[in-house]
Structure 1
Amino acid sequence: MTRRRDDELDDHSRFDRPRRRTRPRTKDRPTYDDALEGFVVTVDRGRLTVRVDDGAKQRNVTAMKSRPLGRKGVVVGDRVRLVGDVSGAAGSLARIVEVLPRKTVLRRTADDSDPVERIVVANATQLVVVAAVADPEPRSRLIDRCLVAAYDAGL
């Protein structure tokens, strides 16, 4: 009677993990001609609240990004296209299938040593700076930074 050694059972060199599929399963990609256009109002942990305007009726719809968007960020102020349940009823969920081009972008850096800029808001037309007069004492440098960021964004 022969005994197997434990290292033979743990031989990972024989295990061939299937590669991740990056190609679409079909060449026929959906066109989303019937997608509604909306405006992103809030972003909270992957759930987005989108305001949809259907003529005389406005409603807020809860949505998520669709897989074809990948890691592309959706921020407050983005104009997006939605498919799925856009009724706005409680428990309904729509999918964001396209982010329309941005007109303006307000950015910030996390740190002076961090070269990556993060988008705070898109498609803004105005910036309002609110500061206390007495308590806490106003920080003029912060106000200057806000004004420079607005000027850089074209607001």
Structure 2
Amino acid sequence: MTIPPRHGEGDRRAQRDGGGGSPRSLRPETATARKLRKSMSLPEVLLWQRLKGQQAGAKFRKQHPVGPYVADFYCSATRTIVEVDGEAHDRADRPSRDIARDAFLIENGYRGLHIPAKDVLKDADAAADAIAALAANPLHHQPAAGGPPPRAGED
């Protein structure tokens, strides 16, 4: 007589090899982000080499889901989203989709930076420096020392 595994137990090897366990359903944005991480464009790869590991002074994630969208690069500490815009962003309905995405991000407290892919290809270090400068300035600035005290409820 074989005793079935308790909840949370099971054949770990079968789970690791893709079998066993319960299948997890992913949000469509998460599945898309995982796929995009494996097929980044050359400008995205060049920027990622300069942004990963807090080289820009802030931690960035690549191809990160934000609401119904996937950001090329995202810094959660400063809620900054960086988009590398290739020539595909100028075709068909992409300009209107980009405007809708930017409106969504602004409404939800994010700030974005669009960098043309040709600028990254021309000078990736300068593009990474521009991103680092934006990430270094948080959305909510701290009051200057010796300045007026905050109003009631604004601590």
If the length of structure 1 is used for normalisation, what is the TM-score?
Answer: 0.26
If the length of structure 2 is used for normalisation, what is the TM-score?
Answer: 0.26
Give the structure with the larger strand fraction: 1
Q: Give the structure, 1 or 2, with the largest relative contact order (CA under 8 Å, sep 6 or more).
A: 2
Give the structure with the larger helix fraction: 2
